[in-house]
Each structure stands twice: as C-alpha cells, then as structure tokens.
C-alpha cells in the first residue's frame, strides 16, 4: 500500500475540513432556518423549562420556493453549437443526447434540486458520471446531486472553473457490506476496520446513528491533479499529422520515422492528468489510478453552482 499517498489524502482531508468548517457551520444553520428550526439550543432549553411555546414565523421557506419555482418554470435549454461547418452533424447528435439526458434521465429535476440547494446554503454540487448497471456495453450518463456537506474542495482555489484547484474530496459513510461488494479484494481488511475516522469526523457527526454497531465507515474519494511528461511528434509541413509518442512502449517504428524525416520534430512538456485515490477509514487504500473518464479536469469539468 502506498503509505505516502494515504498520508497525502489524510493531510488534505484535515486541511479542507478545517478550512471549510466555518462554511459548514453557517450552511447547517441556513438549512435549519429553512426548516423552521430557528431557535438556539439555549433558548429552547429556557422555553422547555418554563413551558413556553417556541413560535417560528418562517419568511425564508416561501421565498426559496418562489425563486426555485421560477427556475423550474423558466429552465434554460442546454445546447451544443457547431464551431465550423463540419461540426453541424456532431452538434445535432450532441443536442439529441443532451435532450435525452435532461428528459429521460430526469436531469432537469436534478439541476433544479441543485439550484434549490444553492438558494439555501450558497453552494450546490452536481456529479455527472457513467453507470453500466442497465447497459453493460455503452453505459448511461447520470447526473446526481451531492450534498454540500459531502464535498471538500481545495481551500486555495479561486477560479470558477476549478482550473487552479489541486484536489476535490468527496466523503461519505457506507456500510461494510456495500464496501465489500465494491472492493472484494479487500473484503477481509474492510471487515476488520473499526470505524475510528467515522467516530472522530467533525463534519458529519450529527448524522451518526448511535446504534449502528460500527458497520459504517467513512470513505474518502480524493480526486487530484498529477503531472506527467509527454512527448509529442509534430509534422512541421502538416501540423494535423501530430500524435503523442510514448517512448516507454518502445515505438521503434515511430522513432526511426522521426530520425529519417527531418520535417518531424518533438515537443516534450508536462501535462495535467486527473487521478483518483479512495481511502476507507483513513487507513485502507482500495483504489489508486487515473480517473475513470481520463482527461485533465474533474469529472466533466463540473463545478459548484452558486447563487449570488
């Protein structure tokens, strides 16, 4: 097991938790106010002691529903536009796919639910991904709303498109039985875990069930950017004749072609690669590799929706 990577995930988790704790505290209060839980615990105790009713006049709930309803009735249409004439057919196909996802996969409702979350707490997260449950060959595109309490971004990012964000953490409690199904190679190790990180987690401690018998473990998905050196072969007379040359695979034919043809040149540069590490209970590394969808960005370059 890569102990250095586990340490990196643990340190990033601690850093992000401490940095976002003030937001989570305020966000939790915002959600309580929306649900008419607007009294402080000390005031509740006084009212209970004196037998006084705790009256809450909720002006927030109706305003949230008003704005959320306006968004649902006036949804903007997602559309792909061609850049060149040859892109028209591709844009037409993409528009059909987008329309199918929005309607058939109920993504319109997911986006609206995310918008409502941003009205309440200021930030919402949507996660697009592929699932192969129904179609094991081609898969299906799915978009899910993630609780803002389950996402810990790099606290140093400033760009809206997350281009300067080094990592994003998604953490969630899952049962041991489900984790054993997801990671059968680590079945025995998962069974032996005590759930120590779950008990000490300060962000989601309010959702802990006292009698869960330690069957739930905290799972941390650590999406992070790594860098690797890549050599690209470029044909100076035909720039379209360009491809990446992997010297580690011993592409002798391409090497000889490069030596003979003086019109070819190489450019070596470091490029960003998205990786994913999954750690259970702060100690067990069960996955570490390039992110499922490849590329240089977080899943579909997704970023939080904000309501100003």
Does the pLDDT value for residue 198 go beyond 70?
A: no
Strands in 132-236 per DSSP E: 140-146, 151-153, 167-175, 216-235
Check residue 41 and give its pLDDT: 84
pLDDT digits (tens, 9 = 90+) for 40-95: 888 888 988 888 888 888 888 999 999 999 999 998 878 888 888 788 899 999 89
Residue 301: pLDDT band by 50, 70, 90 thresholds? very low
C-alpha neighbours within 13 Å on the C-beta side of residue 247:
11
pLDDT digits (tens, 9 = 90+) for 210-258: 555 668 888 999 999 888 777 777 766 766 666 565 555 555 455 556 5
Spell out the domain ranges in the chain. 3-7+150-306
Summary mean pLDDT of the chain:
81
Q: What token pair was written down for 71?
A: 């968004």
Does the pLDDT value for residue 179 go beyond 60?
A: yes
Residue 241: name the closest of 259, 260, 225, 257 by CA: 257
- Is 174 exposed, middle or buried, given 0-12, 13-18 or 19+ CB atoms closer than 10 A? middle
d(CA 1, CA 5): 9
């Amino acid at each position: 097991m890569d102990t250095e990577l586990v340490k990196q995930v643990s340190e990033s988790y601690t850093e992000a938790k401490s940095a976002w704790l003030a937001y989570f505290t305020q966000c939790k209060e915002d959600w309580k106010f929306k649900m008419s839980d607007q009294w402080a615990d000390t005031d509740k105790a006084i009212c209970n002691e004196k037998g006084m009713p705790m009256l809450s006049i909720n002006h927030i709930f109706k305003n949230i529903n008003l704005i959320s309803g306006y968004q649902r009735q006036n949804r903007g249409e997602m559309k792909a536009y061609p850049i060149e004439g040859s892109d028209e057919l591709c844009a037409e196909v993409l528009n059909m796919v987008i329309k199918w996802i929005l309607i058939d996969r109920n993504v319109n409702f997911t986006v609206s639910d995310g918008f409502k979350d941003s009205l309440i707490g200021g930030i919402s997260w949507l996660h697009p991904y592929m699932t192969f449950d129904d179609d094991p060959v081609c898969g299906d595109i799915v978009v899910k709303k993630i609780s803002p309490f389950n996402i810990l971004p790099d606290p140093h990012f400033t760009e809206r498109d997350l281009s300067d964000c080094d990592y994003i953490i998604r953490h969630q409690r899952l049962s041991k039985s489900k984790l054993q199904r997801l990671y059968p190679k680590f079945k025995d190790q998962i069974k032996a875990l005590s759930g120590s990180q779950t008990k000490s987690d300060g962000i989601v401690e309010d959702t802990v069930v006292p009698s869960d018998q330690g069957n739930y473990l905290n799972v941390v998905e650590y999406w992070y950017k790594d860098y690797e050196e890549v050599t690209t072969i470029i044909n100076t007379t035909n720039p379209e004749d360009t491809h990446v040359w992997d010297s580690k695979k011993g592409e002798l034919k391409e090497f000889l072609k490069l030596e003979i043809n003086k019109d070819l040149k190489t450019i070596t540069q470091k490029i960003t690669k998205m990786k994913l590490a999954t750690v259970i209970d702060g100690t067990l590394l069960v996955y570490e590799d390039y992110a499922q969808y490849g590329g240089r960005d977080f899943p579909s370059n997704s970023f939080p929706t904000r309501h100003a």
